[in-house]
Amino acid sequence: MKIALLGVGQAGGKVADAILDYEAASRTDFVTDAVAINSARADLLGLRRIPAERRVLIGQSRVKGHGCGADNELGVTVAEEDIDEIRGAVDDLPVHEVDAFLVVAGLGGGTGSGASPVIARELSRLYTEPVYGLGVLPGSDEGGIYTLNAARSFQTFVREVDNLLVFDNDAWRRSGESLQGGYASINEEIARRLGVLLSAGEVSEPPVPESVVDASEIINTLAGGGVTTIGYANSRLDRPPRGLFGRREQDPDETDVVNRITATVRRATLGNLTLPANVKSTERALVVVSGPPKYLSRKGVEGSRRWLEEETGTMEVRGGDYPVPDSDYVSALVVLSGVTDVPRIKELQQIGAETQRNLAERAAQRPEALRDLVWDGDGEIDPLF
């Protein structure tokens, strides 16, 4: 599936860069073009992969290239005011070659949080291709404002996209590692998952998949909107090292191949989801099994699909394989689309609502508190004028 990638705000740009890193390292081709959009000049300059002419600075007249801080209402305003520039950058993309748009942003900050739903709305208005969002939720230690921002942006973003893929930083923080330090590996993880999904159907040279996961399979899985979470797991193979004449290895036992696939799909589904969710609340699912052709089997993929049907309770489970001859792993990617039972979102909304109440209370008390501070109480001190 070919996408036009739009990274909005700092996290959006960095994740877009990581997706382009993945594409280069895996020698795949699924990003037709990429654009970065930000109100902070320094963040745009810090990008590595997105070409300079594809970086759009918005809100210059208002924030002078300094960003929106954590003010996502300002993020909305600068995107709306500079929508012509954003549209101009997208007009330069070869849109006729893309199957979908992907708008990526961290939802806890200012620019990405506010601007990404505005950009998604504009893309949907102008183009017939589906517009997907990838929203990153803040860690719970980032504080109430970030959580409130994310809760507000989440609501708006879901409404403006054809499907919102969600990645929860909180669920991904490695124990003992600060979130900041872990961003690079988190971004790699996001890129790997999207990369496997989007490149699976773009194999142009042999060995071709037995059952291809093409763009329409992905679009159908994401149809119906809502929220999507993605699971991934891999299983290391005990293969002989690569030699001058390739690998000399025996054909693996078929039962082992099938069992390995089903076990990996189970781990992908029940283990590390990008957004922890009750899998029973899934509306549609898709599974992609990748690895060396000898370790892929139609029976394994079919068995996994049936298991996913039972586990999720949905009849709409698509599946396919993705041969990667040189790989030392069999891996499984599971897309759970339209999940509705997601405790983390409820928690985010609850903390967001509390923060909103606290902010309103403090704002109401402020004028009186300031008057008390400035007034000396007895009227002994005269102001100058």
Residue list for the binding site for GTP: 10-14, 110-112, 142, 169, 187
CA-based R_g, the chain, Å: 24
Q: Give me the least distance between CB of 100 and ligand GDP, in Å please.
A: 21
Q: Token digits for 114?
A: 């506010």
Closest CA to 296 of 231, 208, 221, 214: 208
* Cα end-to-end distance, the chain, whole Å: 69
Q: With respect to ligand GDP, which residue has the nearer C-beta, 169 or 327?
A: 169
CA distance 252 to 229: 32
Q: With respect to ligand GDP, which residue has the nearer C-beta, 58 or 324?
A: 58
List residues near ligand GDP by CB under 6 A.
9-11, 14-15, 67-68, 106, 108-113, 136, 138-139, 142, 146, 169, 183, 186-187
Q: Give me the least distance between CB of 261 and ligand GDP, in Å please.
A: 29
Q: Give me the least distance between CB of 37 and ligand GDP, in Å please.
A: 10
Q: With respect to ligand GDP, which residue has the nearer C-beta, 42 or 208?
A: 42
Q: Give me the least distance between CB of 175 and ligand GDP, in Å please.
A: 17
Residues 6+ apart with CB under 8 A from 122: 83, 86, 87
Question: 287, 304 in Cβ contact below 8 A?
Answer: yes
Q: With respect to ligand GDP, which residue has the nearer C-beta, 172 or 295?
A: 172
Q: Give me the least distance between CB of 67 and ligand GDP, in Å please.
A: 6
Closest CA to 168 of 212, 117, 222, 106: 106
Q: With respect to ligand GDP, which residue has the nearer C-beta, 44 or 261?
A: 44
Closest CA to 122 of 94, 72, 88: 88
CA distance 152 to 114: 9
